[in-house]
Structure 1
Amino acid sequence: MNGIINVYKEKGYTSHDVVAVLRKIAGQKKIGHTGTLDPDATGVLPVCLGRATKLCDLLTDRDKTYEAVLLLGKTTDTQDISGAILKEQPTDHLNEAEVTKVIESFKGTYDQIPPMYSALKVNGKKLYELAREGKTVERKSRKVTIYQIHIKEIQLPRVRMEVTCSKGTYIRTLCHDIGNLLGTGGCMEELTRTKVGRFELKDSLKLEELSDLAQNGRLEDALIPLDQMFSELQSVVPAEKYISKAYNGNDFFKNQLSEDGKFCSGEKVRVYDAQGHFIGVYRYMEDRKMFHLVKMFLDPEELR
């Protein structure tokens, strides 16, 4: 099977656990996920099967939306409620207006220092492995963007909020940073990823549901074709005499299309053959009136 399944990751599973279970359900090895969720977190985890694994990096780069519960007054070593408590501070003096003002100040781009308990590598070793050895190493801050923070409920010391952010943003670190700015400390108590690019929580399926589909021979019902990931792009079909160029990932010219069209320089397009096989994504080069390969998705087996 080739495509993407919108999996609902349940609490207690690692992202790798989900992939391992899905390999058994689907009966194939070539499967990859598109962005780690912590074991205690739940929500959307797009999983790529077959040739769609070429999309893993692309989907990981998409903006994401989360619903999180910030617990003020507790600082932990993991920056979430599962960690060891490092410090507890009173929150009685806080008021909703002050908390709201500080949370909203994080909208925009800011320098975030990744947590020690993360899968980032330093000198070939994952940070969480070093953290479990009791080691702390210096981490470089990196710019992340918080596009929106919508406060859904305040019941101090807890705040429920919806966050839309750029790739690489740690929500538990955001909670930690908000707590620090308020002077009380803080950690993440709950996290649900509700959206990754076009994938939404309401459309996600639990592993049990996917297993039931597989047992009834209907797992492909949950599969989203990989060309749908580029549905916003124009589609083009090279003329039959030039289709071998596209099959081989070679450049082809605008006047070699089966139908003429208008394209902007640098514009990406979906390329198909006359039989509807998705070949790949190409970019139009206006100066040469030519299309150049960005990513190939065609399996030669489809042509047999």
Structure 2
Amino acid sequence: MGRRRRSRTDGQPDLEGVLVVDKPAGMTSHDVVQVVRRAAGQHRVGHTGTLDPDATGVLVCCLGRATKLVTALQAGRKTYAATMVLGRETTTQDGAGEVVREADASGIDEHALCVALTRFQGTIEQVPPMVSAVRVDGERLHEKARRGEVVEREPRRVTVHELVLEDFVPGPQAEASFLVTCSAGTYVRTLAADVGAELGVGGSLASLRRIANGHFTVDTAVTLDEVRAAGDEGRLGSLLVPPRDAVRGLPEVEVIDPDDLLALTQGKRLPAFGVAGVGERYVVVSGDRLVGVYRDRDGRAESELVWLRPEELAAPPASGSEA
């Protein structure tokens, strides 16, 4: 269960923890955050990676002080189940936009598609779509697109770890269903458009479902109806993943020495622990407690997030909570 901290202006303490939501279609990620805020009765809620309104699946929400974990959690790999249409291009690279070009894709067979897919595995460069949350000159691209602007976008390097064709239905507008595991910042609709361009017929995304974000999977996600009900009944905390469990996907090291623990909770830099590559995130724990998230730089352990406070060192975690 998530723990509660300092009271807000209404006298109620904030919940702290991670809530894994199965986002429905037709809502923005911000809409989902608003539902969670109302259910929790607190404003401090964030998420670890935007899903387009028509997309569904895992949206990881962080509550209270756990919002400080957003940066670490959003860096994890993401897995999607998607369907693309070959022979159709749209203004948004998915079904939400206007069709700008159609071509006959009946000449594309499964072998040709598989060959094309192999060219988009590994580290690739993507030009982010105009309708996206990427910022250019301090403004999100979708805000510029809403005014009819089209601006130059720099390609961004992303990694497609796995790209597997699940099903293929040939035809003038062929449909291909696939699973993709990719790095943060990858646009699957851009991937669909680029595969279509590679095949010479264009392409766009027909459906998208995020089935995993790091070690969080859709199997363990809760619906918004469950979130609302839990909020009404005052038991939303029971749905939260404690911060210690939320970061289990990262390398970790346990620190026992009291002096080292005190130094870490005070934000002091200790010699590098060497449990991850230089600059890569890892977590420091003490027993069942999360101490913080760190990176090794210049031979020292540099804190990205100090979770455990010095005054908490002597006190055991409260029952049903996570320190």
Q: Is TM (by shorter chain) over 0.5? A: yes
Give how far 1:10 is off: 0.6
Residue 116 (structure 2) aligns with: 102
Residue 62 (structure 1) aligns with: 76
What whole-Å deviation, never above 9, does each CA across 1:88-107 have from its counterpart, x for those lacking one? 11112221211121122211
Residue 6 (structure 2) aligns with: none
CA root-mean-square deviation: 2.6
C-alpha separation in 1, matches of 2:160 and 2:136 = 25
Q: Secondary structure at the match of 1:93?
A: coil
Q: How much identity, in percent, do the aligned residues show? A: 39
C-alpha separation in 2, matches of 1:94 and 1:253 = 57
Aligned partner of 1:237: which letter?
Answer: I
Q: Secondary structure at the match of 2:84?
A: strand
C-alpha separation in 1, matches of 2:235 and 2:283 = 31
Contact 2:20 2:61 in 1 (8 A): yes
Matches for 1:45-84 after TM superposition, within 5 Å: 45-84=59-98
Q: Does 1:236 align with 2:255?
A: yes
Q: Secondary structure at the match of 2:206?
A: strand
Q: Does 1:166 align with 2:166?
A: no
Give how far 1:282 is off: 4.9
Give how far 1:244 is off: 4.2
Contact 1:80 1:189 in 2 (8 A): yes
Residue 292 (structure 2) aligns with: 280
Residue 296 (structure 1) aligns with: 306
Residue 207 (structure 1) aligns with: 224
Give how far 1:246 is off: 3.7
What whole-Å deviation, never above 9, does each CA across 1:147-186 have from its counterpart, x for those lacking one? 1111111012000000011111100000000111111111
Q: Secondary structure at the match of 1:17?
A: helix
Matches for 1:119-158 after TM superposition, within 5 Å: 119-156=133-170, 157-158=174-175
C-alpha separation in 2, matches of 1:105 and 1:77 = 24
C-alpha separation in 2, matches of 1:182 and 1:249 = 53
Aligned residue pairs total 291
Give how far 1:59 is off: 1.3
Give how far 1:247 is off: 3.6
TM-score normalised by length of structure 2: 0.82
Residue 250 (structure 1) aligns with: 268
Give the unaligned 5+ runs of structure 1: 255-262
Give how far 1:237 is off: 2.9
C-alpha separation in 1, matches of 2:108 and 2:294 = 54
Residue 190 (structure 1) aligns with: 207
Q: Secondary structure at the match of 1:174?
A: helix
Residue 26 (structure 1) aligns with: 40
> Which one has the largest radius of gyration?
1
Aligned equivalent of 1:117, options 131, 153, 161: 131
Give the unaligned 5+ runs of structure 2: 1-14, 316-323
Change (3 A) 1:252 1:174: closer
Contact 1:114 1:170 in 2 (8 A): yes
Change (3 A) 1:135 1:204: same
What whole-Å deviation, never above 9, does each CA across 1:259-288 have from its counterpart, x for those lacking one? xxxx6476855244x8x654324567997x
Contact 2:39 2:230 in 1 (8 A): no
Contact 2:47 2:70 in 1 (8 A): yes
With 46-55 and 125-134 compared, the bigger mean Cα shift is at 125-134
Change (3 A) 1:75 1:292: closer
Q: Secondary structure at the match of 1:140?
A: coil
What whole-Å deviation, never above 9, does each CA across 1:198-228 have from its counterpart, x for those lacking one? 1001111111112222333332221111122
Give how far 1:49 is off: 0.7
Give how far 1:145 is off: 1.2
Residue 260 (structure 1) aligns with: none
Q: Secondary structure at the match of 1:109?
A: strand
Aligned equivalent of 1:222, options 232, 239, 243: 239
Contact 1:176 1:185 in 2 (8 A): yes
Change (3 A) 1:183 1:23: same
C-alpha separation in 2, matches of 1:50 and 1:299 = 15
Aligned partner of 2:144: which letter?
Answer: L
C-alpha separation in 1, matches of 2:135 and 2:260 = 46
Change (3 A) 1:179 1:243: closer
Change (3 A) 1:170 1:292: closer
Give how far 1:118 is off: 0.8
Change (3 A) 1:284 1:166: closer
C-alpha separation in 2, matches of 1:167 and 1:265 = 22
Give how far 1:229 is off: 3.2
Contact 1:66 1:195 in 2 (8 A): yes
TM-score normalised by length of structure 1: 0.87
